[in-house]
A and B are shown apart, each in its own frame.
Chain A
Amino acid sequence: GNSVTQMEGPVTLSEEAFLTINCTYTATGYPSLFWYVQYPGEGLQLLLKATKADDKGSNKGFEATYRKETTSFHLEKGSVQVSDSAVYFCALPISSGSARQLTFGSGTQLTVLP
Chain B
Amino acid sequence: GAVVSQHPSRVICKSGTSVKIECRSLDFQATTMFWYRQFPKQSLMLMATSNEGSKATYEQGVEKDKFLINHASLTLSTLTVTSAHPEDSSFYICSALPQRGYPDTQYFGPGTRLTVL
Contacts and interface: CB of A to CB of B under 8 A. Distances in A.
Interface in B20-66: 32, 34, 41-44, 46, 49
Interface of B: 4, 6, 32, 34, 41-44, 46, 49, 93, 95, 97, 103-111
9 contacts: A42-B110, A43-B4, A89-B43, A99-B104, A101-B34, A102-B34, A104-B43, A106-B43, A107-B43
A77 interface: no
A99 B32 CA distance: 12
Contacts of B41: 107, 109
A43 B105 contact: no
Given A46-B105, A100-B104, A106 B111 contact: no
Contacts of A105: 43
Interface of A: 32, 34, 36, 41-46, 49, 51, 89, 93-94, 99-107, 109
A1 B107 CA distance: 22
Nearest to A92: B104
A95 to B, nearest CB: 12
Contact of B46 (A43, A44, A102): A102
B110 A43 contact: yes
Contacts, number: 53
B42 A106 contact: yes
Given A42-B111, A43-B110, A89 B105 contact: no
Contacts of B44: 44, 89, 104
A45 B43 contact: no
B67 to A, nearest CB: 16
A105 B110 CA distance: 19
Given A100-B32, A100-B49, A101-B49, A43 B108 contact: yes
B49 A36 contact: no
A97 to B, nearest CB: 12
B41 to A, nearest CB: 8
